[in-house]
Amino acid sequence: MEALELLRLNLLSPMVLAFFLGVAARLLRSDLAFPEAMYTALSIYLLLAIGFKGGVELSKTPLGLLLLPALATLSLGLIRPLSGYLLARRFLGVGRADAGALAAHYGSVSAVTFLAALTFVQAVGGRPEGFMPTLVALLEVPGIVLALVLAKRGSGSVGEATREVLTGKSVVLLLGGLSIGALSGEAGMERVKPFFVDPFYGALTLFLLDLGMVAASRLATLRQVGFRLVLYGVGLALVHGAFGVYLGHLVGLSVGGATVLGAMAASASYIAAPAAVRIALPEANPSLYLAASLVVTFPFNLILGIPLYHALAQTIGG
């Protein structure tokens, strides 16, 4: 019942419903469309806000308490995009750009899945560590950067690809926002809260509405790898989730903390990664990466994944 309630609450959120409205609008051949300038403005706003809020969380966490869990999280941020990229190339048979886009989504993290896991653990009596939101911030960016480097490495040397990614506006906004938030802290956030916190979910709703239209417009290509994409999304979630739980146990997290880290590792971003990929890899097919992250992995984790990661954490911790 808990999983079904979480599924209902999250799938009936305005943001996810806006995505499906965008899909429906395109399938119904509506003339609804976003100006390119509006999409660009929403992307800049969301990426900077995500980085900013993550930096504020970092500023409030003592370094000694965070060190080992942070190292575990950063290692997840490097291993997950590598496995996502290789599996996309070999199992799905997609090109470098599409593989990089998928790797960026499965190398980053879904904040909604994180919140669902936190709610689940607390509902069953667990007490996850208070610094878990900081780990979300640490997991958000490195996987996106590595995935974009993998996708672009064929266009020149690895050094050139890395420089292009690190100086691209998507990464500059995420890392710059982290730096601003970490340096200005809670006091800085209070000064800009009316702009970066309160309107965030409204902007996200518009962003996902646009993504729904973009994804629906390219659904025809999804049929080429449809069932394999389901296996890809579920398989990566299970492998990454189990590895996240195990790493959480190794670095001393509680059963609740290991469960939440496992759910984070199993998740796929549909906020930060789409914004970064649309800017850095415009040739990638949104139908692939949005269907995998939002239609396959997201509901799987809410229905079955989180309880499975909790059971595994209890088994390992016991």
Sign of CA dihedral 59, 61, 62, 67: negative
CA separation, residue 165 to residues 11, 83, 98, 275 (Å): 33, 20, 16, 14
pLDDT at 1: 45
Domain boundaries of the chain, sorted by first residue: 2-18+38-317
What is residue 284's three-state secondary structure?
coil
**DSSP H stretches of helix in the chain:** 2-11, 14-27, 36-59, 63-87, 96-107, 111-123, 132-140, 142-152, 158-167, 169-196, 200-216, 226-250, 255-266, 272-280, 286-290, 298-300, 306-317
Is CATH 3.40.50.960 correct for 2-18+38-317? Answer: no
Q: Record the tokens describing residue 241, joined without a space.
A: 């989730």
Encode burial over 96-135: b for 16+ CB neighbours within 10 A, e otherwise: bbbbbbbbbbbbbbbbbbbbbbbbbbeeeebebbebbbbb
pLDDT digits (tens, 9 = 90+) for 265-275: 999 988 788 88
pLDDT at 89: 94
Q: What is the average per-residue pLDDT within 78-94?
A: 94
pLDDT digits (tens, 9 = 90+) for 223-251: 777 789 999 999 999 999 999 999 999 99
Q: Cα–Cα distance between 69 and 313 in angstroms, integer?
A: 15
Q: What is the average per-residue pLDDT within 152-162?
A: 63
pLDDT classification of 291: cutoffs 50, 70, 90: confident
